[in-house]
């Protein structure tokens, strides 16, 4: 196919044009996808900042909506179920393996509990020996921060099933599975225990869990749009020839 324009002729095949348009559409769509991700991250970080400075929630009296209340500070009265505790295995801190300790906290006047993340402790010299996570001081009220359960990159089959003995080891937290194990309902979120609270371990709760920042997403979008522009320039350059002047 040939198109003449001024002193230039534009030659290309339908196959070449189709391939160019396909790649162009892909690059542009990736650019707009990154723009969308950038905006999502901006909203996510703004929501985190607002939630962390909002008034403390009373879990005994107020309903929780994790879409808007994630990272809110909460308080709740009740008591720990020290007989049924969980250790989230394969948790790395400062390059060292260890566990996160999840202890059910039975809420006053309710037949359910919320899992309290009491922090991280290192793996001992003998992996077959479970750490002592007993609670020596009675706790009737706790303060902490609402969050989802820790996530993992690769979910292996059966990783959500806890071991038989207590404290039970588990790789992935599924509140419904753990509820069946303890025999009462569990909230589908955790409370990260306040760093000043007693009966806790290492607690370095972070607010920004976004690995890729909004600015990085924006930079990626610019790269995709730049590649689309470069592709267009190459296609025009390869397909364009200067028309030869007619001989007289």
How do residues 46-76 score in pLDDT, each as one tens digit?
777 776 777 788 999 988 888 888 888 999 9
In a domain, 64, yes or no: no
* CA–CA dist 24, 28 (Å, integer): 6
Provide the domain count of the chain: 2
Is residue 247 included in any domain, yes or no? no
| 118 neighbors 144 (Cβ within 8 angstroms) | no
Q: What is the pLDDT of residues 108-142, one digit of tens each?
A: 988 899 999 999 999 877 777 888 899 988 899 99
Q: Categorise residue 190: left if φ over 0, alpha if ψ from -120 to 50, beta otherwise.
A: beta
87 occurs within a structural domain: yes
- pTM here? 0.68
In a domain, 204, yes or no: no
Compute CA distances 102 → 6, 83, 161, 166, 202, whole Å. Answer: 74, 12, 15, 12, 13
Question: Which carries the bigger pLDDT value, residue 241 or residue 114?
Answer: 114
Q: Do 84 and 146 belong together in one domain?
A: yes
Do both 117 and 175 map to the same domain? yes
91 with 157, same domain: the answer is yes
For 222-239, the pLDDT digits (tens) are 999 999 999 998 888 887
Q: Which domain holds residue 24?
A: 2-45+212-242
Angle formed at CA 87 by CA 86 and CA 89, multiple of 5 degrees: 145
Same domain membership, residue 106 and residue 16: no
pLDDT at residue 184, as a whole number: 94
> Rounded to the nearest 5°, which phi and psi values hold at 112?
-155, 170
Residue at token pair 């919320």: 114
Residue 198 included in any domain? no
55 within some domain: no
Same-domain check for residues 179 and 216:
no
């Amino acid at each position: 196919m040939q198109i003449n324009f001024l002193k230039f002729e534009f030659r290309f095949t339908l196959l070449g044009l189709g391939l160019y348009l396909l790649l162009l559409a892909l690059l542009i769509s990736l650019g707009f996808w990154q723009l969308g991700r950038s905006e999502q991250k901006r909203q996510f970080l703004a929501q985190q900042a607002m939630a962390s400075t909002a008034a403390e929630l009373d879990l005994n009296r107020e309903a929780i909506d994790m879409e808007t209340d994630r990272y809110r500070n909460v308080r709740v009265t009740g008591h720990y179920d020290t007989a049924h505790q969980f250790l989230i295995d394969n948790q790395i801190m400062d390059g060292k393996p260890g566990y996160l300790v999840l202890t059910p906290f039975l809420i006053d006047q309710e037949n359910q509990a919320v899992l309290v993340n009491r922090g991280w402790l290192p793996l001992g010299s003998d992996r077959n020996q479970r750490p002592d996570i007993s609670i020596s001081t009675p706790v009737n009220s706790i303060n902490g921060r609402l969050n989802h359960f820790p996530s993992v990159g690769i979910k292996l089959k059966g990783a959500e099933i806890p071991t038989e003995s207590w404290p039970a080891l588990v790789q992935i937290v599924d509140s419904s599975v753990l509820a069946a194990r303890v025999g009462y309902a569990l909230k589908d979120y955790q409370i990260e225990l306040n760093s000043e609270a007693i009966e806790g371990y290492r607690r370095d709760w972070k607010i920004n869990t976004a690995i890729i920042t909004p600015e990085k997403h924006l930079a990626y979008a610019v790269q995709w749009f730049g590649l689309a522009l470069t592709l267009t320039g190459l296609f025009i350059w390869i397909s364009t020839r200067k028309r030869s002047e007619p001989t007289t």
